[in-house]
């Protein structure tokens, strides 16, 4: 019953540092997504993947990179963190775009 | 592209009353909509979805109505309970974009 698991849950970075957020799903879903959530702005899509080995840009991709080397994992990387990337990050997965997306519990990232 | 928004950022209802949360969208080609519930500190959870070939869909204590003429959908919660207090998001999918676009959310507060 794990569903979608995100690690870490919290992180504080200094400006310019790099980090990778890990998302793992055990539902054999093809589609995986990374969103960021900022106060009053809902969820905005950063990058997504339609299958192992594929990635695509979403609405706000700048400053982020992703990789989907294994079907169950979707990694989000920040090469040089900026204060504007302070946010809560959510990973999600779905069988198809037109089916329910399951979300992880989120990663709260603060860049100082 | 798709634009999805919500009419009111906050809504307060008395326990036991019915709640109606509204959402508007801009893309007439949108063909799939989902309502999510997000409790504080958690990821969004699926509530109910509806496809554009339907006007109404019912779940347990929830009903979603879709009016394609005015590009509006609503979520109705019957006999609202304290556990219904959360932020509610509508999300739409349609046209050439095969990723969900989220609205900004409505904070529902249930008063005792």
Cα B70–chain centre separation: 16
pLDDT band at B95 (very low <50, low <70, confident <90, very high): low
Mutation target vs B (from A2, A43, A89, A91; most B CBs, 10 A cutoff)? A43
Q: What pLDDT score does B70 carry? A: 92
- CA-nearest of A7, A16, A3 to A82 is A16
Distances in Å between the Cα of B16 and the Cα atoms of B38, B59, B81, B111, B112 are 20, 18, 6, 9, 9
* B104 Cα distance to chain centroid: 11
CB A110 within 8 A of CB A42: no
Which pLDDT band, with edges at 50, 70 and 90, does B6 fall under? Answer: low
User: Above 60 in pLDDT, residue B1?
Assistant: no
Q: What is the mean pLDDT of residues B54-65?
A: 96
- Statement: residue B96 has pLDDT above 70: no
Ranges under pLDDT 70 in chain A: 1
Q: Using DSSP, state whether B20 is helix, strand or coil.
A: strand
Interface contact B100-A90, CB threshold 8 A:
no
SS3 B68: coil
Closest residue to A100, CB basis, from B41, B46, B99 = B46
Of B8, B3, B6, the residue nearest B109 (C-alpha) = B8
Using the beta-carbon criterion (under 8 Å), do B104 and A41 form an inter-chain contact? yes
User: Do B9 and A41 lie within an 8 Å CB cutoff?
Assistant: no
Which among B99, B37, B79 has a CA at the least distance from the CA of A45?
B99
Interchain CB contact of B9 with A (< 8 Å)? yes
Say which of B41, B43, B46 has its CB closest to residue A90.
B43
d(CA A69, CA B48): 32
Q: Are the beta carbons of A42 and B104 separated by less than 8 Å?
A: yes
The residues of A whose Cβ lies within 8 A of any Cβ of B are 4, 33, 35, 40-45, 48, 58-59, 90, 92, 97-98, 100-106
Binary contact (B99, A33; C-beta < 8 A): yes
- pLDDT mean over B12-19: 97
A7 alpha-carbon distance from chain centroid: 10
> Rounded mean pLDDT of B55-73?
95
Number of helices (H), then strands (E), in chain A:
0, 11
Question: Taking all residues of chain B, what is their mean pLDDT, rounded to a whole number?
Answer: 90
> Looking at the DSSP assignment, which residues form a beta bridge with residue A4?
A25
Coil, strand or helix at B38: strand
Cα(B41)–Cα(B34) distance, integer angstroms: 21
Residue B49 forms contact with A (CB below 8 Å): yes
CA B35 – CA B83 distance, rounded (Å): 16
A111 vs chain B: nearest CA distance in angstroms?
19
Identify any residues that bridge with A24 across adjacent strands, giving them in sequence order.
Answer: A5, A73
Residues of chain A with Cβ-Cβ distance to B41 below 8 Å are 106
């Amino acid at each position: 019953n794990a569903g979608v698991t995100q690690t870490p849950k919290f992180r504080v970075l200094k400006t310019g540092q790099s980090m990778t957020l890990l998302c793992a799903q055990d539902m054999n879903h093809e589609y995986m997504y990374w969103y960021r959530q900022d106060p009053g702005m809902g969820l905005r899509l950063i990058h997504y993947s339609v299958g192992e080995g594929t990635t695509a840009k979403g609405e706000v991709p700048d400053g982020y990179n992703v990789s989907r080397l294994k079907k169950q994992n979707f990694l989000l990387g920040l090469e040089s963190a900026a204060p504007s990337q302070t946010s809560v990050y959510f990973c999600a997965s779905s069988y198809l775009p037109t089916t329910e997306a399951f979300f992880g519990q989120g990663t709260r990232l603060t860049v100082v | 592209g798709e634009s999805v928004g919500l009419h009111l950022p906050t809504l307060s209802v008395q326990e036991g009353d019915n709640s109606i949360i509204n959402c508007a969208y801009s893309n007439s080609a949108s063909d799939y909509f989902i309502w999510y519930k997000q409790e504080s500190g958690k990821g969004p959870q699926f509530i109910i979805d509806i496809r554009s070939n339907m006007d109404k869909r019912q779940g347990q204590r929830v009903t979603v109505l879709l009016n394609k003429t005015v590009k509006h959908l609503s979520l109705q919660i019957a006999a609202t309970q304290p556990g219904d207090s959360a932020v509610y998001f509508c999300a739409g999918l349609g046209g050439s974009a095969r990723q969900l676009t989220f609205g900004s959310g409505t904070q529902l507060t249930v008063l005792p």
